[in-house]
Amino acid sequence: MDIIFITDLRVETIIGIYDWERTTQQTVSLDIEMATDIQAAASTEDIENTLNYKAISKRVESFIAESQFLLIETMAEQVATLIREEFGVSWLRLTVHKPGALSNSTDVGVRIERGSR
């Protein structure tokens, strides 16, 4: 199994449970690891034979920017489902960071794994 990854994909969105969070966009950051087999892409040098990380990042960015979530857990589940269903990813590990959510911490977040390797 090979892994294609995207690190620190930043998106502005409405996220949070407090009143002020419902009116102010905040930055979330995502780290995405996706299982795939890169052998066909490596031998043909054809983007159609691999996961197109640009297409995935653009789709995830637009989905999050157009959505509003109360919890990062909900965001993580919906993004994972989107990637698996729209891009045929059998396994992924997704970390959603919400920097600045706590005044005494630089970062908080959630990490999930879905599917089988």
CA atoms within 13 A on the CB side of 72: 19
Do 112 and 83 form a contact (C-beta atoms < 8 A)?
Answer: no
Do 87 and 56 form a contact (C-beta atoms < 8 A)?
Answer: yes
Could you give the 3-state DSSP secondary structure of residue 67? coil
What's the rounded Cα separation, in Å, for the pair 41 and 22? 43
Do 80 and 94 form a contact (C-beta atoms < 8 A)?
Answer: yes
Of the residues 13, 75, 76, 98, only one is catalytic, namely 98
* Residue 98 falls in the annotated catalytic set: yes
One-letter amino acid identity for 97?
H
Q: Catalytic site residues?
A: 98
